[in-house]
Amino acid sequence: MMKQLIIAAIAAAALCSCGTTSHPLYSWYDSQDATYQYTKKATDADLNRAMAQYELVINKQNGTRMTVPPGMNAEYGFLLCKAGKKDEGIALLKEEMRLYPESEKFISRIIKQLTK
């Protein structure tokens, strides 16, 4: 009887753990699709849509980490620089390095090229 109770408890625990849903680390919203559309067509409308999605991801994080995903500040910062908003773009590139120090070697090269 005790053996059956233990087996039933293990089975119940296993079934309960299957029903939980994990919350994603980051909120991406529609940024992947917007980025794809922009790189595919490169129209002003697609650029504006991608930039709006980046702003949403950066300013409204609901993921479990509650921080901007890796690369998001860098991508948006680079687009801002391309759009003529160099100061804002470089500030976001620097924010990327602050949040993700491992990106410093790569991002610092981008900043150096943009400030020549």
Indicate the average pLDDT of the chain: 85
Mean pLDDT of the 90-98 span: 97
CA distance 20 to 109: 43
With a pLDDT cut of 70, the percent of the chain lying above it is 83
| pTM for the model | 0.74
Q: What DSSP string runs through 36-76?
A: HHHHHH--HHHHHHHHHHHHHHHH---STT-SPPTTHHHHH
Predicted pLDDT at 21: 58
pLDDT in tens, 16-59: 655 555 778 888 888 888 888 888 988 889 888 989 999 999 99
From the CB of residue 93, how many other CB atoms can be counted at a distance below 10 Å?
23
